Amino acid sequence: MGDFPHEYKVSASSGQNGGVTVSAPGLPDIASGPPAQFGGSGDVWSPEDFITAAVADCFVLSFKAVARGSRFDWTFLDCHVSGFLDKVDGALRFTRFDVKAVLTVPEGTDPAKAIKLLEKSEKACLITNSLTSESHLEAEVQFG
């Protein structure tokens, strides 16, 4: 894992007209712009999309680590996140993230253990731990 603190370097650049290019060393560039709600075209990733995606991605990666550490067998995890942006005390901020996780497990798996590991993953997610917004998990286990 490496010594802490870890440092992550990202840059964003744009001319007066046009979108934003988000870059990080060794990674492909990502086109970005304002979401449709703020007058953007809605056809490129926005900062609002990025933060919501970070919650979803971190949850899945946290679950993978928790499941591996618990030697828990599973088949597929589908995670959907809704981020809610609102005006609070005159400033825009994300107030809540609702995480819906649907975990597919092999027949015979204890669903209570699966739910417990999903809940543990929510608590382990460093992204939601870094945000002041509320986070709510709706977990579902299915067999397949």
pLDDT tens for the chain, 144 residues long, are 789 999 999 999 999 998 999 999 999 999 999 999 999 999 999 999 999 999 999 999 999 999 999 999 999 999 999 999 999 999 999 999 999 999 999 999 999 999 999 999 999 999 999 999 989 999 999 998
Residue whose structure tokens are 């933060």: 51
Tokens of 41: 């075209």
Q: What is the pLDDT of residue 46?
A: 97
15 domain-assigned = no
For residue 45, with 0-12 CB atoms within 10 Å meaning exposed, 13-18 middle and 19 or more buried, which class applies? middle
Tokens of 31: 């086109």
36 domain-assigned = no
Q: How many domains does the chain have?
A: 1
Q: Which among 109, 134, 104, 112 has a CA at the least distance from the CA of 122?
A: 134
53 domain-assigned = yes
Q: What is the pTM of this model?
A: 0.93
Query: 130 lies in which domain range?
Result: 47-143
Q: What is the CATH number of the domain that holds 128?
A: 3.30.300.20
Q: How far is CA 41 from the centre of its chain?
A: 23
